[in-house]
Amino acid sequence: MTDPAAPPTPPVPLAALLAREDLGLRQIAGPDSGAAGTAVQWVHTSEMTDPYPYLLGGELLLTAGVHITDPADPDGSLDAYVSRIVAARGAALGFGVAPVHDTVPRALVEACDRHGLPLVEVPPRTTFSGVARAVWRLMAEARHAELRRVTEAQQGLATAAARPDPVPAVLRQLAARLGGAAALYGPDGAELQAAGQARDAAREALRELTAVVRRAAPAAPASAADTAGATHLAAYALGGGRGFALGVATDHREPGDHTIAGAAVVLLSLLTGEHQGASEAARTSALVRLLLGASPQDVGPLLGSALWTVVHARGEHTPLAASALAAALGGGLADPRDDVVRLLVPADREITPTDGWTLGVSTPAPPGELAAADAQAARALRRAEATRVPLVRHHENGLAALVAPAEADAHARVLLAPLADNEALTATLRTWLSLHGSWDRSAVALGVHRNTVRQRIARCEALLGADLNDPDVRMELWFALSRDH
């Protein structure tokens, strides 16, 4: 089973849920949730004898044991039941006492101990919906705390950048916010400025790690991560291609650390680039000429790269976050618009998944074909969101490679015309098809009830006048949705 796509909210420690006195939950089997660091990413209720196909991983699975016909488990079915939950990477199992069973079956307790799955007893007074509501509330509180921490850190970094000694002030602020050490490295790998405390071995490992992002190779990544013993290391290339890098060493990683470091990368890139480089000047000149009426083909040579990649990104939508994303992708031009950030990145830069963002990436294109590349990136982003993956690249293969783009787009518009005015139906159909008709996974991806998914798909079937059980129909609709923009 592949790793599940992480939800947009921070996970909830199972220990925090057990600490809620109003719920009265009690762990009766499996490893200690606090010591093991068990975290809950979802809540799912099921009375299926095999819940594996309906789990994404990280769930607190709630059951009243309706499927348990003999608590003594003479045939070992409970052991198989628990093993399937573990195979699906479920976080824990919650068993509701009453009305089906007066106590948690002993065989289930023993099976959870054998397989290392935390088993939580849910008392009769606590409803499953109450448990789910408590999890969502804890997630919202954690997300709010994370956003507040990131916002305060960004404000602190911006204030530090306005000081008379901005570079050391930013490094001190970054080290304090992350609870570790931060250092600025020059093109030769020398440590120019540093703040915070780190072990000598960690500092040397961090200096070596920055060499990965400082190298001049076109495929050099914008960031890199590693560990030195128990210390977490991260290195970030500063924008401008001048070889400067930021290194961070911390004893532990917290949600939002990457975003905070990204803000520091933007500020340090500006502070270390006192004079505009030749590439930046050429880009500015190209933009001015475009505004004055020049064609994309005329200004193409000034952009410094024969080909460009268009990236559409959805995530934290602030100008600073957009600039940090551009820096993380190795430089380029960013345009925050509505709820999507659009970026132009030189085609020789490798686009990799970035924490907190969902990315759609076009194929490389010359300046005269950037409009088509923009449409490709938009379609790729929709696929990424529908399939719950952090990055999707546009590929013209299969049917798309056999049909002229204009004809394919016209066919898509005609086929999907009955859904044109209903974005909810279009999004549901795209998600449902991408997940191979799974009602439960589609409901989780869309954040709605599975019955809502069924109703919407039935409505799509009626409007389109098509049989969605027919694989040929599904294939044609998926092709049309991939062209829809």
CATH number at residue 408: 1.10.10.2840
CA atoms within 13 A on the CB side of 48: 12
CB count within 10 Å of CB 328 equals 25
- 407 in the same domain as 476: yes
Q: Which of 337, 369, 395 is the last residue of a domain?
A: 395
Strand partners, 211: none
- Cα dihedral sign, 430-436-440-445: negative
In a domain, 448, yes or no: yes
CA distance 388 to 314: 12
What pLDDT does residue 446 have?
83
Q: For 253, which DSSP code?
A: -
* Three-state SS at 273: coil
Q: For 354, which DSSP code?
A: -
- 232 in the same domain as 338: no
In a domain, 230, yes or no: yes
CA distance 463 to 447: 23
Compute the CA torsion angle 237, 238, 240, 241 (nearest 10 deg).
Answer: -30
In a domain, 246, yes or no: yes
| Cα–Cα distance list, 238 to 48, 112, 176, 235, 265 (Å) | 52, 49, 20, 10, 6
- 285 in the same domain as 215: no
What pLDDT does residue 35 have?
74
Q: Which of 343, 366, 395 is the last residue of a domain?
A: 395
In a domain, 284, yes or no: yes
In a domain, 320, yes or no: yes
Contact between 157 and 174 under an 8 Å Cβ cutoff? The reply is yes
- 384 in the same domain as 426: no
Number of domains into which the chain is organized = 5
CA distance 312 to 345: 11
List the domain range (segments joined by +) for residue 52. 12-126
Task: List alpha helices for 403-448, DSSP H.
Answer: 405-415, 423-434, 439-446
- 283 in the same domain as 257: no
- 168 in the same domain as 79: no
What pLDDT does residue 342 have?
86
Buried b (16+ CB within 10 A) or exposed e, 248-284: bbbeeeebbbbbbbbbbbbbbbbbbbeeeeebbebbe
- Environment class of 330 (CB within 10 Å of its CB; exposed 0-12, middle 13-18, buried 19+): buried
- 151 in the same domain as 236: yes
- 216 in the same domain as 119: no
In a domain, 132, yes or no: no
What does the pLDDT profile of the chain (485 residues) look like in tens digits?
A: 444 455 556 788 999 999 999 999 999 999 988 777 899 998 999 999 999 999 989 999 999 999 998 999 889 999 999 999 999 999 999 999 988 999 999 999 999 999 999 999 999 999 999 999 999 999 888 888 888 888 899 899 888 888 877 888 999 999 999 999 999 888 778 888 889 988 888 888 888 888 888 765 445 577 888 888 888 999 898 875 667 889 999 988 887 888 899 888 888 888 776 444 445 556 666 666 666 777 666 666 666 556 788 899 988 666 656 666 776 676 667 777 767 888 888 777 788 887 778 999 988 887 767 778 888 888 888 888 877 888 988 875 555 544 455 666 676 677 788 888 888 888 888 888 888 888 888 888 888 898 999 999 998 888 888 888 888 888 888 777 766 54
- 428 in the same domain as 315: no
What pLDDT does residue 174 have?
94
In a domain, 386, yes or no: yes
- 264 in the same domain as 361: no
What pLDDT does residue 126 have?
95
Q: Angle at CA 155, nearest 5°, toward 151 and 158?
A: 140
- 231 in the same domain as 158: yes
Q: Which of 301, 316, 349 is the last residue of a domain?
A: 301
CATH number at residue 214: 3.30.450.30
- 264 in the same domain as 156: yes
In a domain, 78, yes or no: yes
